[in-house]
Amino acid sequence: MGMIAERSVDEWYSSLPKTSGIYRLINGTMDDRDKKERIRAVIALGESDDPRAVRPLMDCCTDKDPLIRLHATEALFKLRSGRSVSVLVERLRDRKEQLATRERAAAALAAVRSFTAIEGLRDLYSDTDEDPALRSFVAEELHRIRIR
């Protein structure tokens, strides 16, 4: 999927103190100076299982950098928060977005499984003007969760 796979991310995240660590990660997502550190922070927030990570990850989904958006969408998939549905639907529907990010948004919506998430998936699937590959991916996600 094009995700940056670094073994050091787990080590880096586990070395942070749990209480203040989440706030360092959140601040790290906003630091424009070092893209690699931002990506590490986004990935670690996705691994954190901390509800405080949802809002900053949602903000990262609208970042100007497509790689930050991709990793933020993946991180939200891992957190499976219903609070992220609106931004995930936005990523899914954005025809200018990279296909990989749109697919991760679809997978994240399927993982959330809320009414609004499923409606976002169904709406895209029903749109005959939409990318056929994405429609097929959405159909597979709906089928995987046994909804169509």
**DSSP letter for each residue of 26-85:** HHHHH-TT-HHHHHHHHHHHHHHT-GGGHHHHHHHTT-S-HHHHHHHHHHHHHHT-GGGH
Structural domain boundaries of the chain?
A: 8-144
CA distance linking residue 145 with residue 148, whole number of Å: 9
User: What are 99-108's pLDDT values in tens digits?
Assistant: 999 999 999 9
Task: State the pTM of this model.
Answer: 0.82
Q: Which CATH superfamily is domain 8-144 in?
A: Leucine-rich Repeat Variant (1.25.10.10)
Question: Could you give the CA distance from residue 13 to residue 30 in angstroms, rounded to a whole number?
Answer: 17
Over the stretch 48-74, which tens digit does the pLDDT of each residue have? 999 999 999 999 999 999 999 999 999
